Amino acid sequence: MTKANKPKLTQNIELAHRPVDLEPYHKIAYDGLWKNNQALVALLGLCPLLAVSNSVVNSLGLGLATTFALVFSNTMVSLIRNLVSHEVRLPVFVLVIASNVTIIDLLMNAFFHDLHKILGIFIPLIVTNCAIIGRAEAFASKNTVDKALADGFFVGLGFTLALVALGTIRELIGTGTLFGRADLMFGDIAKHWSIEVFHDYGGFLLAILPPGAFIGLGLMIAVKNVIDARGK
């Protein structure tokens, strides 16, 4: 309370010159993207991860939708964290998440209609993605808004990257292309973005079908564990 006694100008200068403490943000980013990656380490949200990762564009669409849901729900949960009593926190968090996902669902239906049709039930199902309620409960309800927002962003980004990596593997092996049907997401200019990596590729159905998702994710987790083990 001593700061209040100082002249306003000096106080502002003091605030502006105070070094911003970046340390927690580093940690939040590292945790969300790698160390505690929701898909590869926590193994949360696997249902949509496995179901829609059959192409890069589908993966990116669902990954971004999940990221938005994470950022908004983390921010709101953090804002109301002191207003909600401990006993009813989970229903309230779910309500917050469900409202956010409904907004995202309607927005995608309006602006990315074809992509929305392909992703189908998995957009509304983001509500039940354990990664989101997990972050709300484990992080956002205990931290300030700025950190909760950063956490939502980086966790979502980590989830999206894992999803896109899996989508890349499956699309490449399954159909021999990359960025097929990119116009679903980026509009008409993306009609020709599709890269045919292997010519005359007969296709490998297993990679597109659910077993390909399980095997691909298993191999990705293995690679991550190998990298971690080498780093030690």
Smallest Cα–Cα separation from 170: which of 66, 33, 50?
Answer: 50
Q: Are 122 and 46 in contact (CB under 8 A)?
A: no
Neighbours of 232 (CB within 10 A): 4
Give the single-character DSSP code of 82: T
Smallest Cα–Cα separation from 64: which of 183, 160, 153?
Answer: 160
**Cβ-proximal residues to 18 (8 Å cutoff; 6+ apart), any chain:** none
User: Residues 160-199: x/- map of binding to another protein (CB under 8 A)?
Assistant: ----------------------------------------
206 binds another protein (CB under 8 A): yes
User: Residues 125-164: x/- map of binding to another protein (CB under 8 A)?
Assistant: ----------------------------------------
H or E element, residue 115: helix 113-119
Nearer to another protein, 18 or 199 (CB): 199
> Given candidates 138, 205, 223, 227, which one binds another protein under the rule CB under 8 A?
205
106 binds another protein (CB under 8 A): no
204 binds another protein (CB under 8 A): yes
229 binds another protein (CB under 8 A): no
Would you call 177 helix, strand, or coil by DSSP? strand
201 binds another protein (CB under 8 A): no
> Given candidates 2, 202, 229, 231, which one binds another protein under the rule CB under 8 A?
202
Q: How far apart are CA 38 and CA 215, in angstroms?
A: 18
25 binds another protein (CB under 8 A): no
Nearer to another protein, 187 or 210 (CB): 210
211 binds another protein (CB under 8 A): yes
Buried b / exposed e along 16-33 (16+ C-beta atoms within 10 A): eeeeeeeeeeeebbebbb
Residues in the site for another protein, rule: CB under 8 A?
202, 204-206, 209, 211, 215
